[in-house]
Amino acid sequence: MKKIDGAIQFKPAKRLECFIADSEALVKEAQALRFRVFSKEMGAKLKTESEGLDYDEVDSYCDHLVVYDNVNKKIVGYTRLLNQNQAEKLGRFYSQSEFNLDQVLTLPGRFLEIGRTCVDPDYRGGAVLTTLWSALVQYALEGQFNYLLGCASITPGPSGFAVDAVYRNIDAKNIAPSSIQVTPGIPVPKELRCERDESGIPPLLKAYFRFGAVVCGEPCWDEDFNCMDLFMLLPLDQLQERYSKHYMRGYQAAANEIENTAVL
């Protein structure tokens, strides 16, 4: 990892580069991409709508990991990183606004939260996600974090949220033990739940499960983003071994599964 023009670089110069932005201009460009995906594409109700940006009070504490297209000179992928030290300064992890994480946070080790991940609609097809994930893994390993945590957002189907159907299809090994279960602040309302299994496990969740992540309890209803959020926890104790050509081939397969997915 090296610094070029004030930003940490994760890859040698090529078509797609991934780095942590530390300039206001790059951060605002990333927030504009978030706005286009979450507000314009997904219909989220954002308090910053008039500015054409998506940001909140958490942003100023985070590292902003961007994938940059050197040919078209623009940000095409993004995720927000809130590490243990940054969360302590903020006073919480973002996920704590939706879930009670008391049991999870008793685990020994250091946490890294990811969120607001999105990809430009013209660049969905695996390459951007592969680049983003590779840099994220490197960040986590170099920072000696023990767990990745965050939310997997699922938008409703034509009849609502097939909550029970989704959970019935999750393998037992991908369900967290009761000792680290979380509780949602706002459960998915009964009137928004549907019984019919319309699509099985969403591709996004399949990708998380490939990496060894577990679902930690019932989902939270996010009215502003019109989605239900599942709290995910990914132990990183064996990630160094997994982070190899074989591991990245597995990731590429997962990325191909979610090539048309807007967000993580």
Go through the domains of the chain in sequence order and give each one's CATH number: 2-257 (3.40.630.30)
Global pTM value: 0.84
* pLDDT, position 258: 46
Residue 60: exposure state from Cβ atoms within 10 A (0-12, 13-18, ≥19):
exposed
Cβ contact 227:145 at 8 Å: no
Cα angle 50-21-145, degrees, rounded to a multiple of 5 = 115
Phi and psi angles of residue 131, each rounded to the nearest 5 degrees, phi first: -65, -45
CA distances from 151 to 16, 17, 55, 122 (A): 26, 25, 17, 24
One pLDDT digit (tens) per residue for the chain, 264 residues? 544 455 555 545 689 999 999 899 999 999 999 999 999 998 899 999 999 999 999 999 999 999 999 999 999 999 999 999 999 999 999 999 999 999 999 999 999 999 999 999 999 877 998 899 889 989 998 999 999 999 998 888 777 888 888 888 889 999 999 999 999 999 999 988 887 665 667 766 777 888 889 999 999 999 999 889 999 999 987 555 555 544 455 555 545 544 455 555
* pLDDT, position 249: 54
Which is nearest to 233 in space by CA: 160, 169, 182?
Answer: 182
DSSP symbols for 69-112: ETTTTEEEEEEEEEEHHHHHHHTS-GGGGTEE-TTGGGSSS-EE
CA distances from 81 to 65, 185, 192 (A): 7, 22, 31
